[in-house]
Amino acid sequence: MTVAILALQGAFVEHAAMLDRLGADHFEIRQLRDLERPFDGLILPGGESTVMGKLLRDLGLFEPLREQIQAGLPVFGTCAGLILLAKTVEGGVPCFATLDISVKRNAYGRQLGSFYTEETCQDIGKIPMTFIRAPYIEAVSGDAQALATVEGKIVAARQNKQLVTAFHPELNQDLSVHQYFLNMIRA
């Protein structure tokens, strides 16, 4: 099994380190020709969703990746990656728009949006959650399901093979969210 990590900007190295610890093969997607290599799942990291959205289009990656996600490619988006997948974005522009959630960008305020907590994630258990200028999910619809909430706000969701977290599992030692994604790919 091989996981591709979008590596245009943001916290992609940290995801690679998690996959190394889990013994999963991975490579980075930086340009169109990287898509020639076969992969079974895709990680969209945290960073700045507006910048990543622009680079995806400028590099010609947007259309082919969107087609693959729509066709069922397992994808895991953290923070900005969550925003890239959301159909509705308050305070931003939708990018792939493949996931039936509406999300509020910088939802906790620009300065105070970074914090740490521990909460239960459905099917996973209690996990560390590090938030950095984070969005939250205002609503899920269609086949999308909320997996975790923090103080009444949805911070993780899943729809078929799409998994998103508003927090950054790659910034803590706990491997369980990445393990959950690998299980999604295998299933």
Catalytic residue numbers read: 79, 168, 170
Helix axes 12-21, 176-186, angle to 10 degrees: 80
By the 8 A CB rule, do 41 and 97 touch? no
Minimum distance from CB of 30 to ligand GLN (Å)? 18
d(C-alpha 130, C-alpha 147), whole Å: 16
Specify the long-range contacts of residues 141-144, CB closer than 8 Å, at least 24 apart.
Answer: 141/100, 141/101, 141/102, 142/100, 143/100, 144/99, 144/100, 144/101
Q: Which of 1, 89, 11, 23 is nearest to 48 (CA)?
A: 11
Among 6, 43, 75, 79, binds ligand GLN (CB under 6 A): 79
Is 103 one of the binding residues for ligand GLN (CB under 6 A)?
no
If DSSP codes are grouped into helix, strand and coil, which group holds residue 64? helix
Is 9 one of the binding residues for ligand GLN (CB under 6 A)?
no
Minimum distance from CB of 91 to ligand GLN (Å)? 8
Segment 82 to 101, residues that bind ligand GLN, using CB under 6 A:
83
Minimum distance from CB of 109 to ligand GLN (Å)? 11
If DSSP codes are grouped into helix, strand and coil, which group holds residue 146? strand
> In terms of CB distance, is 30 or 54 closer to ligand GLN?
54
> In terms of CB distance, is 14 or 119 closer to ligand GLN?
14
Segment 130 to 149, residues that bind ligand GLN, using CB under 6 A:
132-133
Segment 12 to 51, residues that bind ligand GLN, using CB under 6 A:
46-49
Residues at the interface with ligand GLN (CB under 6 A) = 46-49, 79-80, 83, 105-106, 132-133
